[in-house]
Structure 1
Amino acid sequence: MNRFATVVVLSLCGLRAAYAADTVAPEEPAPEVARPAWALQITPYMWAAGLEGDISPFRRAPTIHVDKPFSDVIDDLNFGGFVNVWGRYDRFVLSGDMMYVDTTDNHGSGPLPALQIPGLGITIPPGASVDAKVDTKQFMATLQGGYRIIDTPQFTLDALGGVRFWHISNDVTVTASHPAIGTRSATHRESFGWVDPVVGVRAFLPLTEKLSLQAQADVGGFGAGSDLTWSALATANYTVTEHLSLSAGYKILKVDYDRGDHVYDTSLSGPVLGMTWRF
């Protein structure tokens, strides 16, 4: 009996000591998941942008005010393509955004003041009626590099700097009618382009495992190319798989260029839908 009691006491003491050891000993920290040193993602997107502003299709042409909702823009659209590329190596980042739009628009005006149309070889007299078909091709590319100044699981912020390249090409077919000249037609092609310096930021905020918010903005021009250009993009993102996500948001792109008798002072704005592939 004494021997049995001794065994029971020793067993209870051992269990108590083991319990004390479990409650006092610190837990081992969970191993951290290493973030890849590099990342690359490509996002083709649709942009339902309306157009508002002032443009001149060629030198010495009158400046035309344009105010088109997206429904009118899509009626004139021949082709449009938009893609965004973003990459990171450690804390160094690269951001690229490209746009190409081909539209055809028809204008009928009259009577107009005296106007010299390139290709006609004459000056259209005052009061003439002018019909114009304008085929416009626009290419814009923004390329920026930068550094991640805030890098936490809850929030990231990148500082960016680079250039924005513009190229505008207009094919204008003009038909002018007036008793003094009859009906005369001519076609004229003219193109121009410029480069703007830009600086900006990009922020990323995860909300849940699958939902996140992203915002990117920049400003530039400063008289080097255009007088001013700026853009802003905000999206909500949903992760479908490890390599695929969907996004929806709103984008604005503004530029004010007036140089060498060319005027391109416009604002494009509207909702965006994108699909992102990660590598």
Structure 2
Amino acid sequence: MEWGRSGWVSTVFLLTSFQAVQSGDVHAADASSTAPQAISGDWTFSFTTYGWTPWISGDLTVKGRSFDVDVTARQVLEALDWSGVPAWFSYAEARNGRIALFNDIAYAQLSGSGDFAKTGPLGILTLSGNVSAEYEQAIVEFGAAYEIWSGTIPGMGTAEYDVLAGGRYWHQDATVSANFDLSGLPPLPGGGGRVFARSGSVDWVDPFIGARLRQQLAPGQSLTVRGDIGGFDVGSEFSWHAVATYAFQLCATDRYTIDGYLGYKALSVDYSEGSGADRYEFDAVQHGPVMGATVRF
């Protein structure tokens, strides 16, 4: 699925170019702009738990059979499989001066089924059946960030600009089964029903590069905008990721602070392997609101 690919590639690199030019202007106009701090001996840590309720749209091929995917956020919530751990989302970051190491985990297990019936134009034949699906997805991101600029933007507050690089591990396991029955005809030997099932499991790792802007809006309030691109035919053919979050301080002590945050996250990937009856393909965009809490210490 090609939707949005060139646009998001352009967005990431335009963001990089704009911020680089802007930082040069600010250095010339504002004496409070500073070079990135040197590496210190102190590490700071943050841990975030969050929820992500995405819309999912695209194409899925399992064992050579293709399906259109068009799932709303409400359907995702209703399809969470509570027989085990239905979902887990977390983000952790360790920072020392200009360098940061980060990890993001997104896991969800979904299941659902539905019945259908359709009568032919003459009202004689009726096709009915049931379709069920189970889907498990785990995305584990690991990477590093390097702060290339920090300073004060007039009228906007302090800001830091990072470049990013890392990898994103994907695991997907999908099972689709269907039972069809055609009524209105005399019984056939062996019965008139038809059943098929398709299942497949894949794993791959995508490298990625990107950029991140951290903007302090006011005391206890900040905005973070991040974008990255990856895949490059190493794992998937291509992937892109974009997220923007607004954080606000809930409480602070001498040892830690707790922030709440709201935002929006989008993740797209185009992955395929195999051919014919062994083909697996996942070409989809997942996007939706995020909400969570962060502990910093």
TM-score greater than 0.5 by the shorter chain: yes
Q: Kindly indicate whether residue 289 of structure 2 is the aligned counterpart of residue 275 of structure 1.
A: no
Report the CA distance between 1:241 and its aligned residue: 2.2
Secondary structure, aligned partner of 1:71: helix
TM-score (norm 1): 0.74
Q: Identity percentage over the alignment?
A: 29
Of 71, 74, 78 in structure 2, the residue corresponding to residue 71 of structure 1 is 74
Alignment of 1:182-197 (within 5 A): 182=191, 183=193, 185=195, 189-197=199-207
- CA distance, structure 2, for counterparts of residue 108 and residue 65 of structure 1: 17
- CA distance, structure 2, for counterparts of residue 96 and residue 180 of structure 1: 57
Is the CA contact (8 Å cut-off) linking 1:145 and 1:161 kept in structure 2?
yes
Secondary structure, aligned partner of 1:207: strand
Secondary structure, aligned partner of 2:63: coil
Give a deviation string over 1:123-147, Cα, whole Å, max 9, x none: xxxx987633211110011111131
Is the CA contact (8 Å cut-off) linking 1:93 and 1:158 kept in structure 2?
no
Report the CA distance between 1:252 and its aligned residue: 0.5
State the one-letter code of the partner of 1:232.
A
Q: Kindly indicate whether residue 61 of structure 2 is the aligned counterpart of residue 47 of structure 1.
A: no
- CA distance, structure 2, for counterparts of residue 216 and residue 37 of structure 1: 25
- CA distance, structure 2, for counterparts of residue 190 and residue 67 of structure 1: 20
Of 233, 244, 247 in structure 2, the residue corresponding to residue 237 of structure 1 is 247
Report the CA distance between 1:219 and its aligned residue: 0.6
- CA distance, structure 1, for counterparts of residue 149 and residue 251 of structure 2: 26
Is the CA contact (8 Å cut-off) linking 1:43 and 1:275 kept in structure 2?
yes
State the one-letter code of the partner of 1:131.
N
Give a deviation string over 1:58-84, Cα, whole Å, max 9, x none: 2122x1111121112212122122111
Give a deviation string over 1:17-70, Cα, whole Å, max 9, x none: xxxxxxxxxxxxxxxxxx9832111111111211111012x2122x11111211
Report the CA distance between 1:176 and its aligned residue: 4.6
Distance 1:195 1:181, change over 3 A: farther
Is the CA contact (8 Å cut-off) linking 1:87 and 1:95 kept in structure 2?
yes
Q: Kindly indicate whether residue 109 of structure 2 is the aligned counterpart of residue 102 of structure 1.
A: yes
Unaligned runs of 5+ residues in structure 2 are 1-39, 119-125, 153-157, 183-187
Give a deviation string over 1:88-111, Cα, whole Å, max 9, x none: 112111122111110013256899
Unaligned runs of 5+ residues in structure 1 are 1-34, 112-126
Secondary structure, aligned partner of 1:146: strand
Q: Kindly indicate whether residue 80 of structure 2 is the aligned counterpart of residue 81 of structure 1.
A: no
- CA distance, structure 1, for counterparts of residue 42 and residue 160 of structure 2: 15
Secondary structure, aligned partner of 2:218: coil
State the one-letter code of the partner of 1:262.
Y
1:259 is matched with 273
Give a deviation string over 1:157-186, Cα, whole Å, max 9, x none: 111111111110123444354646523657
- CA distance, structure 2, for counterparts of residue 129 and residue 226 of structure 1: 37
2:19 is matched with none
Alignment of 1:1-279 (within 5 A): 37-56=42-61, 58-61=62-65, 63-78=66-81, 79-106=86-113, 131-152=130-151, 154-177=158-181, 179=188, 181-182=190-191, 183=193, 185=195, 189-242=199-252, 243-260=257-274, 261-279=279-297
Q: Number of aligned residue pairs: give it.
A: 228
- CA distance, structure 1, for counterparts of residue 70 and residue 197 of structure 2: 25
Is the CA contact (8 Å cut-off) linking 2:245 and 2:264 kept in structure 1?
yes
Pairwise CA RMSD of aligned residues?
Answer: 2.4
Is the CA contact (8 Å cut-off) linking 2:63 and 2:199 kept in structure 1?
no
1:9 is matched with none
Distance 1:151 1:177, change over 3 A: same
Distance 1:67 1:172, change over 3 A: closer
Report the CA distance between 1:188 and its aligned residue: 5.5
Pick 1 or 2: higher relative contact order, CA cutoff 8 A, min separation 6. 2
Report the CA distance between 1:250 and its aligned residue: 0.7
Secondary structure, aligned partner of 1:224: coil
